[in-house]
Amino acid sequence: MASPSNMLNQSYVIQRGKRRRVSCDTSGSDLKTEARVLVLNTGGTMGMILQDGVLSPEPNALVKALRKLPFLHDEEYAHKTKLYECYKPEEKTLVLPQSKLDMRVVYTFLEYSPLLDSSNMTPDDWITIAKDIEKYYENYDGFVVLHGTDTMAYTASALSFMCENLGKPVILTGSQLPIFEMRSDGRDNLLGALLIAGQFDIPEVCLYFHHKMYRGNRVTKVDSGSFNGFASPNLPPLANAEVDININWDTVWRPSTCEKFKVNTQLNQNVGLLRLFPGITTDTVKAFLKAPMEGVILETYGSGNAPDNRQDLLNEIRKATDRGLIIVNCTQCLRGTVTISYATGQALSKAGVVAGFDMTPEAALSKLSYVLAKQDLSIEKKKEMMSRNLRGEMVADLEGAKLSLSDSRFIQVIAKALSIGCKEELEAIRNALMPTLACAAAKNGDTVALEAIKEMGTDLSMADYDGRTPLHIATCEGNLEVVQYLLSKGTTVSVKDRFGDTPLHNAIQFRHKDIVELLRNRGAHLSPEELQDTGTKLCSLAASGDLEGLKIWKLAGVNMALPGYDGKTPVEVARASEHKEVVDFLQTASA
């Protein structure tokens, strides 16, 4: 493998979301804005050549091909600026044309030998990639890893855990067709990965494919015959590269510490995937769980379910977890998360199985390998780590949110960051944050977190910056259990948000009949301001024959004979529109 050199004469210009390196060429010409990217070519379809009817990797062929493509290498610019005198080795270095952001991405290839089909990838190869990123980390602005598609999701997931405190983009990409073919997707995939890696400050391991960039530990390959071969079932793309490259900055994951980047190459390979199926035998499960196996991803049905009438299976699982085997429950479904809402899901939890929430099997397996290798942790600590969101690989455990709130660690961390130490200022921060956190818990249907917030001394009737209380949010979302909880804690039902809406009005708008009925039983009513245009709304519903909508308003205690803006009543409008069923309802309701 060639050994890339450092950049010369460099300084930096930092803009929000973008990283710019300004360098001067050796001829002393004007400053030019460049970014440096290292391309780790591990193999895969992109650089393969058809030989004797079979696709196989060809050393050094990819770089030679890219030199002939003007949109992937600006040869004129390279000679004009004496680029090759600054960047060595010249035969491995190319430069993109100037981008819309007035950037030049200079990229150097580090080609592996031998080049691998991704089906032949092993954890040892993950370690090699991670070590190379660490070796050249300070010399480059970003990294692109060319990789075959078959196991790319596994590699992306593994690298996301191995790269600790990552501060630069690492983007995996590949193609379904070799770059030498006329209709290859490889050219667009490589170009998109290079532009994002060189121009944007995204400190994550990502996967770029078919105009989209995903979090690396959130993807799975879903189609072997389409250019749109990957999906991120439970997380939207971090970036979309259409006419412009649009980054979803709110979703970008960033390290929670300021520690130096490092690579953890310790992986425990005594892990495996076991997929449940109807009729699976006890002997099969027993054989799979026996030593030297130390960790297993159990792929279950639906939202994490397994047969609770198979005590033989549950006994084997319980025996395995009792002796220290960590079993993580992941769903076989492409989308969704593991819960314990069903008895069949609770059976696994009682047997000592750890919930994997919405992790992909690829992410769960590589995370388990990473966690099990931490020799200084107990089994219980490792289980806790598997349930914790480490690199954005899953939705954080709501029970974890409870723990964070109940002991105030969340507030303490913020206070420390702001260098606030006195009790009064700490309480001021709590009072400012808790209403928003309570509203978030109400949206998620999390009464456990709400109880923790209440125990910290927070009034659950306090409003957020929009004047909306947790009750407003719960009624909009239709979270009946949360509404019942809040009402049981004495939450005010008549409070208005800054738009003048009460929780009852929200429940009517979103047609949550059971919540409307519950609020009415607790004395909730619409304010005069909310009733001002009600007649017109009722007439509009009558005109469209919306019987369900009219019934919700009737349940809320509204006079169904209120006239609209033109003086007509809802029943008159219904007659004119020939909605007999609505007419019958309104005549009865207005009697």
CA nearest to 514, candidates 545, 474, 541, 544: 474
In whole angstroms, what is the distance from residue 513 CA to residue 506 CA?
A: 11
> How far, in whole angstroms, is CA 206 from its chain's centroid?
11
Known catalytic membership, residue 45: yes
Helix, strand, coil share of the chain (percent; to 5): 40, 15, 40
Q: Which amino acid is at 513?
A: K
- Three-state secondary-structure class, residue 388: coil
Question: What is the token pair recorded at 279?
Answer: 């009729």
In whole angstroms, what is the distance from residue 212 CA to residue 242 CA?
A: 9
Instruction: Find the length of the chain.
Output: 591
- The residues near 184 (Cβ < 8 Å, ≥ 6 apart) are 46, 175, 177, 178
* Burial class, 490, CB count within 10 angstroms (exposed 0-12 / middle 13-18 / buried 19+): exposed
Question: What is the token pair recorded at 252?
Answer: 């970008």
CA nearest to 18, candidates 238, 215, 197: 197
In whole angstroms, what is the distance from residue 63 CA to residue 53 CA?
A: 23
Q: Which amino acid is at 42?
A: T
- The residues near 189 (Cβ < 8 Å, ≥ 6 apart) are 46, 173, 174, 175, 208, 209, 210
Q: Residue with structure tokens 């549950």?
A: 314
Beta bridge partners of 275: 299
What residue ranges in 290-414 does DSSP mark as E strands? Answer: 295-300, 326-331, 354-355
- The residues near 378 (Cβ < 8 Å, ≥ 6 apart) are none
Question: What is the token pair recorded at 35?
Answer: 């970014």
Crossing angle between the packed helical segments 361-372 and 379-386, to the nearest 10 degrees: 150
Question: What is the token pair recorded at 367?
Answer: 């995370």
Q: Which of 45, 155, 220, 491 is catalytic?
A: 45
In whole angstroms, what is the distance from residue 484 CA to residue 286 CA?
A: 45
Cis ω on the peptide bond leading into residue 89 (within 30° of 0)? yes
Q: Which amino acid is at 211?
A: H
CA nearest to 31, candidates 9, 4, 51, 46: 9
Report the catalytic residues: 45
